[in-house]
Amino acid sequence: METRGHHISHKFDAELEDVRNRVLAMGGLVEQQILQAITSLAEGDTKLAEVVIDNDIKVNSAEVAIDEECTHIIARRQPAASDLRLLIAVIKTITDLERIGDQAERIARMSQRLAQFERPKNQYGELKHIGELVAQMVHDALDAFARMDAEAAVNVARQDLKVDQEYDGVMRQALTFMMEDPRAITRMLDVMWTARAIERIGDHAKNICEYVIYLVMGKDVRHTGIEKMGGEIKR
C-alpha cells in the first residue's frame, strides 16, 4: 500500500483529496444503482426500477463534474509523477463508473420487461446471485482505490473469473429453455440481455482494479492475465 506525500501548496493537497472523495461518492451512488436494479429484478418491483432509471442522470452529472475538475487541476497545477497518475486514474475510473451506471439502468429496464411475464419459481435467483457478486466487486474495487492497495485490487480482479463462469452457466440454461419451449424465447432473451449487463459490470470493476495498480505501481496491466498482474505488483 502506498501513502501519498504532501505538497508545499496545501490547496493542491485539498484539491486532490476532494477529487478522490468525489470519486468515492460517485462510486457509492453507482453501488446503490446496482443493488436497487438487482432488487427490482428479483422482486418484480417496477417502481424501484423507475427510481434507478431516473437516477442515472445523477451518475452522468457526477462524471462530467469530476472530469471537469481534473481537467482544471491539470491545467493549473501541471502535476507530475504520482499526482498525474492519480488524475489519470480518476478520469478512467469515473468513465467506468458511468458505464456501470448505464448497465444498472439497463438491468432496471429489463426488470420492467420481465415483470410482464410469469415469474420463475427461483425468482431469477441465478441473476440475483451474479448481481450481488458484481456489486461486491465494485465495492471492493473502490475500497482498493481509496486505500491505494494494489494487492487488494488484484484479488478483486480475480473475482471476474467467477462472474464469467456463472454468466456462461446462465446463458447455457437460457438456451436450453428456449429449445425446450419456444414460448419462452422472448422472456429468455430478456434474461440473457440482463445477464450480459451484469457481466459487463464485472468487467468494468476489473478495469477499475487495473487503474488502481497503475496508480500505485505506475504499471499498465491492461490486457494482462490475472496471475501475471499479481506478479507485476510483487516486483
| H/E stretch holding 100 | helix 81-114
Q: Given this model, what pLDDT does residue 2 score?
A: 45
User: Per the domain annotation, does 24 fall within a domain?
Assistant: yes
Mean pLDDT over residues 212-224, rounded? 84
User: Per the domain annotation, does 5 fall within a domain?
Assistant: no
For the domain that residue 146 is a member of, what is the CATH number?
Answer: 1.20.58.220
Percentage of the chain exceeding pLDDT 90: 80
Digit-coded pLDDT (tens) for 23-38? 999 999 999 999 999 9
User: Per the domain annotation, does 2 fall within a domain?
Assistant: no
DSSP reduced 3-state for 128: helix
List, as one string, the DSSP characters of 28-65. HHHHHHHHHHHHHHHHT-HHHHHHHHHHHHHHHHHHHH
pLDDT > 80? residue 215 = yes
Q: Given this model, what pLDDT does residue 3 score?
A: 46
What are the cell numbers at 107?
438491468
* Cα–Cα–Cα angle for 133, 192, 110, rounded to 5 degrees: 85
Q: How far apart are CA 137 and CA 139, in angstroms?
A: 5
User: Per the domain annotation, does 1 fall within a domain?
Assistant: no
Query: What is the span of the domain harbouring residue 174?
Result: 10-232
pLDDT > 70? residue 231 = no
pLDDT > 80? residue 7 = no
Q: How confident is the model at residue 85 (pLDDT cuts 50, 70, 90)?
A: very high
Total of domains in the chain: 1
User: Per the domain annotation, does 111 fall within a domain?
Assistant: yes
Cα dihedral 83→90→162→227 (10° resolution):
-20
The residue ranking higher by pLDDT, 59 or 118, is: 59
What are the cell numbers at 199?
457481466
Q: How far is CA 40 from CA 203, 205, 215, in A?
A: 22, 21, 35
Digit-coded pLDDT (tens) for 160-213? 999 999 999 999 999 999 999 999 999 999 999 999 999 999 999 999 999 999
Q: How confident is the model at residue 218 (pLDDT cuts 50, 70, 90)?
A: confident
What are the cell numbers at 71?
481537467
User: Per the domain annotation, does 193 fall within a domain?
Assistant: yes
